[in-house]
Amino acid sequence: MTGGPTAHDVLSLPELEELARRRLPATTYEYLASGAADEHTVRWNREAYDRLRLRPRVLRDVAAVDTRLTLLGTALPFPILLAPTAYHRAMHPEGELATAAGAGAAGAAWVVSGATTTPLEAIAAVARAPLWFQLYVQPTRDANRDIVATAEGAGCTALCVTVDTPVLGARDRQTRARFGLPEGVTAPYMAQRGGRPITDIHRAVSVTWDDVAWLRSVARVPLLLKGILTADDAALAVDAGADGVIVSNHGGRNLDTLPATIDALPEVVAAVGDRVPVLVDGGVRRGTDVLKALASGARAVLVGRPYCYALALFGADGVTRVVEILRAELEMAMQLTGRRTLDEVDRGALWDG
């Protein structure tokens, strides 16, 4: 990347995405950018945010905005987390260690993927901001118990169980690009599901509500389910003991033609929002998107692809830059809509709210 832009030259997440398309090795870019099948859901995740219009209030004192919150016991300086994404050593040689450094410098909580290519202890040793852990449920309870204990031992303060991936979707672009892990790189917490190549997850593991209740009984930290899209499943999640839900369609990477997450969010919030925190991911690229998600009832958002592009292009500095941009844009959006605290970001901030 000599002579090219640095992380600090990047002004926005859409600009970063374009830089990634032009500069990353094709295989890496295809793995990160692609979605399932015809990628309608990938597009809808974005278009649905663009359709929502904001309703500003003026002449309120917004000289100093406050974006702090506490989420399931984790104190966060702003309501933006890094979503769990697999295989960082396929994106950058320093892999998850660079992500941890970048997240730490930005003060951003990061949900480490169950398909991390770096052991949790090594990540924890360099982390300077909260870590959560995302579990891909493994076929045996012993394996799941061990992984949960490892995550807790490494200081992860919440567990996100991904429930939308019994199999992968039709990932045609990834398959065509022949995405795979570099020689010698493995995913230690995916060992029972094949460990190495992404295609091994095509063998479905049977995971049901009973497993959620069992995991709740095993884990000492708060447990969230990631990949909930309906009111019915959100209610079952809370019944099974979940402490939070993440409205997600896996960034449009599994089942194409699922609705945009910002469109699914209100029904989940209506069903369980008064009992547990609801988070959302998918298509968040601007501070105004974060504001719209919060106005629609989310307590926080997660962002996936942008920090992966940034990691692949710039390492730790890139991850930091993505968070800084999004955080600054959220503060601007709050000030320009006349909101000083997160509590003030209610449905009234949406034009058609």
Ligand X SMILES: CC(C)CC(=O)C(=O)O
Instruction: Using the rule CB under 6 A, give the single segment among 53-61, 214-222, 244-252, 325-333 that binds ligand FMN.
Output: 244-252
C-beta of residue 294 within 8 angstroms of C-beta of residue 257: no
CA 239 from centre of chain: 24
24 binding ligand FMN? (CB under 6 A): no
Interaction pattern, residues 30-69, with ligand X; x per rule: CB under 6 A: ----------------------------------------
CB of 3 to ligand FMN, least distance (A): 27
- Sign, CA dihedral 122-125-128-132, equals positive
Nearest to 325 by CA among 3, 71, 16: 16
DSSP three-state, residue 70: strand
CB of 146 to ligand X, least distance (A): 19
- As given in the structure block, the two tokens for residue 349 are 């901030």
Q: Closer to ligand FMN at the Cβ: 86 or 349?
A: 86
How far separated are the first and last CA of the chain, in Å rounded?
A: 45
What's 211's DSSP letter? H
Residue 159, beta-bridge partner list: 133, 223
Q: Which does 198 bind (CB under 5 to 8 A by kind): ligand X, ligand FMN, none?
A: ligand X
Q: Within a 10 A sphere around the Cβ of 85, how many other Cβ atoms?
A: 26
> Identity (one letter) of the amino acid at 120?
L
Q: Closer to ligand X at the Cβ: 30 or 331?
A: 30
CA 206 from centre of chain: 24
CB of 179 to ligand FMN, least distance (A): 9
C-alpha to C-alpha distance for 2 and 184, rounded to whole angstroms? 27
Residue 224, beta-bridge partner list: 160, 244
Q: Closer to ligand FMN at the Cβ: 286 or 339?
A: 286
Q: Closer to ligand X at the Cβ: 256 or 331?
A: 256
Among 168, 260, 303, 311, binds ligand X (CB under 6 A): 168
Annotated binding residues, written as ranges, equal: 31, 84-86, 113, 134, 136, 162, 171, 226, 248, 250, 253, 281-285, 304-305
Q: Which residues bind ligand FMN (CB under 6 A)?
A: 31-32, 45, 83-86, 113-115, 134, 162, 226, 248, 250-251, 253, 281-284, 303-305, 308
Annotated binding residues for glyoxylate, written as ranges, equal: 31, 136, 171, 250, 253
Catalytic residue annotation: 250
